[in-house]
Amino acid sequence: MLDKNGIAKRIAQELEDGWYVNLGIGIPTLVANYIPDGIDVTFQSENGLLGMGPFPTEDQVDADLINAGKQTITTRPGSVFFDSSTSFGMIRAGKVQLTVLGAMEVDQNGDIANWKIPGKMVKGMGGAMDLVASAENIIVAMMHTNKAGESKLLEKCTLPLTGVNCITKVVTNLALLEVKDGAFVLKERALGVTVDEIKEATAGKLIIEGEIPEMKL
Amino acid sequence: MLDKNGIAKRIAQELEDGWYVNLGIGIPTLVANYIPDGIDVTFQSENGLLGMGPFPTEDQVDADLINAGKQTITTRPGSVFFDSSTSFGMIRAGKVQLTVLGAMEVDQNGDIANWKIPGKMVKGMGGAMDLVASAENIIVAMMHTNKAGESKLLEKCTLPLTGVNCITKVVTNLALLEVKDGAFVLKERALGVTVDEIKEATAGKLIIEGEIPEMKL
Amino acid sequence: MINKVVANAEEAIEGIESGMTLMLGGFGLCGIPEKCIAALAAKPEIKDLTCISNNAGVDDFGLGFLLKNKQIKKMISSYVGENDEFERQMLSGELEVELTPQGTLAEKCRAGGAGIPAFFTPAGYGTEIAEGKEVREYNGKKYILEESFVSDFSIVKAWKGDTKGNLIFKATARNFNPIMAMAGTITIAEVEELVEAGELDPNEIHTPGIFVHRIFEGKNYEKRIEQRTVRG
Amino acid sequence: MINKVVANAEEAIEGIESGMTLMLGGFGLCGIPEKCIAALAAKPEIKDLTCISNNAGVDDFGLGFLLKNKQIKKMISSYVGENDEFERQMLSGELEVELTPQGTLAEKCRAGGAGIPAFFTPAGYGTEIAEGKEVREYNGKKYILEESFVSDFSIVKAWKGDTKGNLIFKATARNFNPIMAMAGTITIAEVEELVEAGELDPNEIHTPGIFVHRIFEGKNYEKRIEQRTVRG
């Protein structure tokens, strides 16, 4: 079973040299801590920055330099600032190679729900709807089940959708799955997790072909 | 009767302090030479400049600094460069207060034709269609008649249109006319030109109300 | 000669009336026009405002001041957390909220400021955002038709500006400011440093002065940080 | 590690094939990618190109080289004068020409590069440009629906660039370059000065490097002037 850092670490293995990547708030943010050696990845922050660096030291803090989570940050050499329409221009045009997002639910058709729970205070979708409607490569990082122990990998999302047919992969505390042809295809098990446990925790259609290897972190 | 400089001079009297102005190629360009004292006008060049100045001296010539007529130019203090989409953004959004254009024909509905003669080599509309479709205040600067002596102020344009219902004023070698409610309204006569001469040279509906004053240049 | 320079925020906001639509730049509290917001809060008789702003401030800063005064009738935003008074007014029905995907919000401002009344975007297709909107397919992908925004007043904050209204923004404080500046019937810019025309490099200006109608230098910017995050 | 820097124009244009759609920056001869155009002209086997460019060069410079070689099947431009060979090929039917209002051309590139497949614009309403296009009224004004452009390769010219592909343009040589850079499936940038990542101020960059896939420094730019106009 993986913790949040483990999920981030596994997703980081998907990164390829030269990619531009947008990381959502929560677990996705942690991915930046595990970039494999020898590859160069540029992080996009949709509030108007390419080339996001780590958090600042006390004396580097600049109120005019924040990420999409409104946290103070720094830049890396070769970074660039731009306005919000240019930022979402590059997102919509598919220039960002990978988007990593959290989710409340995903389903076997690649639909995702992560912005609204009816009856609860709705804070808004921020840039999530633009990101999921635009990116060709979207990985969801989340726990396999919710606090009540119910599966978050469904046949059909029950919550209001953020986007449709858009999720390509899901990495949870239990497994790595691809979303393909109306099903979750199990690709890897987390350390010490059995296929039966994953079956148990997955409500949507699950495809298990051959031996499922354990993740290497 | 006015020459080209006279037409430009009369149009320059229409300028108001603080206006942004786009001048087309030909007679309109001359308007920049007659800005009334005490007012500040900023010229927009649709290839990406606000704050166009006069032609350069030999040693100021810069291949990277041209106007929409592809002539080398200079800038004034407070000028700014931008890309072509921003340039036409400000034009379409109506931020340019006055556009001055040449024309082959205009008609009493405010339609204008100035880009194409069937059967002749067509060079293109450049930015003219965007300008006439966008500006709220468009003055046409042209000769009242063509080389064959035929009126260029028509009931209906015969040449392919550049834009419809868009011309607000016409200044010719003979007169200043407003285009209003489907007619040319005669406002001023050029020096030494009679109302009858203007009537004679105007094919479209012409409205003459009261005494028509002579232009003051 | 026409002078775009005004003395202060009070003078800059003259003409803003109840019922108007305002655009306000900023992302979270970064790059917000804090002087003009304070000046508006000092005139609680200006009410029923529709505010287009990516966020709605916090309880005791930014648009939170206007919310506390109940000067805002409707917010058009992409994300509105971090504000208890906002939540209270929204749940009680006092405040109307129109949530818009962030990229669509940005494009609606940019399009409005570029004379484009409507455009197709993929964001929100298949979701409740698309309800009642026209759907069209291009190259096998579905898009929805969105209409653009213009404001009665756009209020932006820049780092440097000149007397012609040209603006330069700093770092991520740029965000929505340039595109909202484009979309204002009247655009007000407050800047940290106001210089004479000619002192800014024409190649380095982010917002051409043609989009800016009033400008002033604000003093003592607080620039509050919402999530001060540092490493050890 | 991935390296966007290529040695020269020959290397930069690798992969451009007959039948492709290219965008080429520049206004007249100002800001055109003269090195890449020369490299393309040196490969006359690349034919049937569709070129999106505001203008079509002159007889002996810029796109005129490709026209002379009959490498261009179709031009999409707003203004195509100043070129005898162009006129000859167009009148004889060898060359197809699609004339587009300049602002619409610019917006089609910008929209394509921003993932917006179509938009409404007033330019050309009531003219032959609007024939067959959808008309819609917004706020009492008529607009036509235009579809955006993307290219197989966009070729742009900048003043300065860095190894990450970030670009800065000079004066009015900016023109169509930044928006065409956005709309390229592959975008090639030739620059007068190439520096290391980190040497350009991130606040002063016009084109973010994400839009640029290949970059090189060109030597000895001719920068021909079309209308050298001086005052006494």
For D164, the closest chain A residue by CA position comes to A78
* Three-state SS at C185: strand
Q: 10 Å Cβ neighbour count for D117?
A: 20
Enumerate residues 6+ apart whose C-beta is below 8 A from B202: B144, B151, B153, B177, B184
User: Are C119 and D119 in contact (CB < 8 Å)?
Assistant: yes
Cα first-last separation, chain D = 55
pTM for the full predicted model = 0.97
Tell whether the model's pLDDT for residue D1 goes beyond 80: no
Are β-strands B49-52 and B42-45 bridged in parallel, bridged antiparallel, or unpaired?
Answer: antiparallel
Contact D127 B62 (CB under 8 A): no
Cα distance from C118 to chain B (closest Cα, Å)?
Answer: 13
Torsion of CA C91, C96, C99, C103, to 10 degrees: -140
Report d(CA C174, CA D206) in Å as an integer.
Answer: 13
B165 half-sphere exposure, CB direction, 13 A CA radius? 8
Looking at residues D116-123, what average pLDDT do you find? 98
User: What residue of D is the nearest CA neighbor of C147?
Assistant: D138
Calpha distance C58→C83 (Å, rounded)? 5
CB pairs under 8 A between C and D: 54
Strands C214-217 and C141-147: what pairing? unpaired
pLDDT tens-digit map of D138-162 = 999 999 999 999 999 999 999 999 9
As a dihedral over the C-alpha atoms of residue A169, residue A172, residue A174, residue A177, rounded to 10 degrees, the angle is -10
CATH number for the domain whose boundaries are C9-117+149-217 = 3.40.1080.10
Contact yes or no for C55/C27 (Cβ under 8 A) = yes
Structure confidence at residue A135 (pLDDT): 86
Judged by CB atoms closer than 8 Å, whether chains meet at B83 and D78 is answered as: no
Q: d(Cα D79, Cα D175) in Å, to the nearest integer?
A: 14
> How many Cβ atoms sit within 10 Å of the Cβ of residue A144?
23
Q: Tens digit of pLDDT for each residue in A132-175?
A: 999 889 999 999 999 999 999 999 999 999 999 999 999 999 99
**Structure-block tokens of residue B167:** 């011309």
Chain-chain contact of B38 with C1 (C-beta, under 8 angstroms): yes
The predicted pLDDT at position D122 comes to: 98
Query: Which chain B residues are closer than 8 Å to D124 by Cβ?
Result: 129, 133, 163
The residue type of D144 is I
Tokens of A154: 């469904």
d(CA C63, CA C224): 13
Whether the predicted pLDDT of B122 surpasses 90: no
Q: Contact at 8 Å (CB) between C26 and C177?
A: yes
Q: What is the pLDDT of residue B204?
A: 98
pLDDT tens for each residue of D40-53: 999 999 999 999 99
Q: Are B55 and B65 in contact (CB under 8 A)?
A: no
CB contacts, 8 Å: D205 with chain A: 80-81
* Structure token digits, residue B8: 């430009």
Do the Cβ atoms of B182 and B108 come closer than 8 Å? yes
Side-chain-side CA neighbours of B125 within 13 Å: the count stands at 28
Match 């989009």 to its residue by tokens: C211
Residues in chain D with CB shorter than 8 Å from the CB of A78 are 162-164, 166, 197-198, 209
Residues in chain C: 232
pLDDT, residue D118, reads 98
- Rounded to two decimals, the ipTM of the complex is 0.97
The gap between the terminal CA atoms of chain B, to the nearest Å, is 12
**What is the C-alpha separation between B212 and B186, in angstroms, rounded?**
7
What are C187's strand-pairing partners? C154
Q: How many helices (H) and strands (E) does chain B have?
A: 5, 13
Q: Where do the structural domains in chain C lie, given as residue ranges? A: 9-117+149-217
Contact with chain A for residue C175, Cβ under 8 A: yes
Q: pLDDT under 70 in chain A at which residues?
A: none
d(CA D42, CA A84): 41
CA B111/CA B132 separation, integer angstroms: 9
CB contact under 8 A, C210 and B51: no
Cα A160 to the chain's mean position, in Å?
Answer: 18
- CA D167 to CA D204: how far, in whole Å? 9
Quote the pLDDT of residue A48.
Answer: 98
Helical axes B84-92 vs D102-113, angle rounded to 10°: 120
In Å, what is the CA distance from A138 to each residue of A33, A47, D171? Answer: 19, 19, 39
Which of D30, D129, D169 has its CB closest to that of B66?
D30
d(CA D228, CA B63): 9
Residue with tokens 């105007």: B202
Closest by CA position to C51, among listed C41, C42, C60: C41
Q: Note whether C126 and A164 are within 8 A (CB).
A: yes
Closest chain D residue to C111, measured at CA? D119
Only one residue has tokens 């805002």, namely: C72
Where on the phi/psi map is residue C31: left (φ > 0), alpha (ψ -120 to 50), or beta?
left
Chain B: give the shortest CA distance to residue C201, in Å. 8
Q: Which of residues 65-124 of C touch B (CB under 8 A)?
A: 110, 112-116
Nearest to C191 by CA among C1, C8, C2: C8
Q: Is residue B170 a contact partner of residue B177, using CB atoms and an 8 Å limit?
A: yes
Q: How far is the C-alpha of B15 from the C-alpha of C131, rounded, in Å?
A: 48
Q: Is the pLDDT of residue D56 over 90?
A: yes
C164 contact residues in B (CB cutoff 8 A): 42, 51, 78, 80
Over residues D77-95, the mean pLDDT reads: 90
**Chains B+A touching (3+ CB pairs under 8 Å):** no
- Please, which residues bridge with residue C157 across strands? C190
pLDDT at A128: 97
Q: What percent of chain B has pLDDT over 90?
A: 95
Residue of D nearest to A52 (CA): D202
Count of alpha carbons within 13 Å of C145, Cβ hemisphere only? 14
Residue whose entry in the numeric block shows the structure tokens 């920049």: B32
| Residue C193 CB neighbour total at 10 angstroms | 13
Is-contact D175 D215, C-beta < 8 A?
A: no
What 3-state DSSP class applies to C173? helix
Extents of the domains making up chain A: 4-207
Residue labelled with tokens 């059995």: A194
Question: Which chain C residues contact residue B44 at CB under 8 A?
Answer: 210
Cβ-based contacts of D120 with chain C (< 8 Å):
116-119
- Report how far residue B2's alpha carbon sits from residue B192's, in angstroms, rounded to the nearest whole number: 9
| Chain C from 184 to 203: CB within 8 A of any A CB | none
User: How far is Cα D67 from Cα D56, in angstroms, rounded to an integer?
Assistant: 8
**Token match 């629906």: residue?**
D145
Nearest CB partner across the interface for A93, out of D2, D115, D203: D115
The C-alpha atoms of residue C20 and residue C14 are separated, in whole angstroms, by 13
Quote the CA–CA distance of C68 and C87 in Å, as a whole number: 11
**Residue A36 is which amino acid?**
P
Q: What is the pLDDT of residue D224?
A: 96
In degrees rounded to 5, what are phi and psi of residue B7? -60, -45
Q: What is the pLDDT along chain C (232 residues), one digit of tens a residue?
A: 789 999 999 999 999 999 999 999 999 999 999 999 999 999 999 999 999 999 999 999 999 999 999 999 999 999 997 788 898 998 899 999 999 999 999 999 999 999 999 999 999 999 999 999 999 999 999 999 999 999 999 999 999 999 999 999 999 999 999 999 999 999 999 999 999 999 999 999 999 999 999 999 999 999 999 999 999 7
Mutation for A interface: D116, D149, D164, most A CBs within 10 A: D164
Residues of A noted as catalytic:
46
Residues from A in contact with D at Cβ < 8 Å: 17-18, 20, 38-40, 42, 44, 50-51, 75, 77-82, 85-86, 88-96, 134
Residue A126: which of C79, C171, C179 has the nearest Cβ? C79
Bridge partners, residue D158, by sequence: D191
Q: How many CB pairs under 8 A join B and C?
A: 70
Residues of chain C in contact with residue A125, where contact means CB-CB under 8 angstroms, are 78-79, 99, 101-102, 129
Check CB contact under 8 Å for D99 and B92. no
A148 CB burial (10 A radius; 0-12, 13-18, 19+): exposed
What are the structure tokens assigned to D115, written together?
Answer: 């993932």
Q: Which chains touch D (3+ CB pairs under 8 A)?
A: A, B, C
Residue in this structure with the two tokens 């298949």, named with its chain if needed: C126
Name the minimum distance, in Å, from the CA of D27 to any CA of chain A. 22
Other C-beta atoms lying within 10 Å of the C-beta of residue C18: 12
Check: CB of residue C92 under 8 Å from CB of residue C115. Answer: no
Q: Residue C161 to residues B191, C169, C196: CA-CA distances in angstroms?
A: 46, 9, 8
Inter-CA distances, B151 with A92, B117, B146, B156, C37, Å? 52, 16, 6, 11, 57
* Whether the Cβ atoms of residue A85 and residue C23 lie closer than 8 Å to each other: no
Q: Is the Cβ–Cβ distance between D178 and D145 less than 8 Å?
A: no
CATH number of A4-207: 3.40.1080.10
Measured in residues, chain D has a length of 232
Asked if the model's pLDDT at residue B115 lies above 80, the reply is: yes
CB contact under 8 A, A85 and C179: yes
For testing contact with chain C, the best of B79, B83, B88, B130 (most C CBs within 10 A) = B79
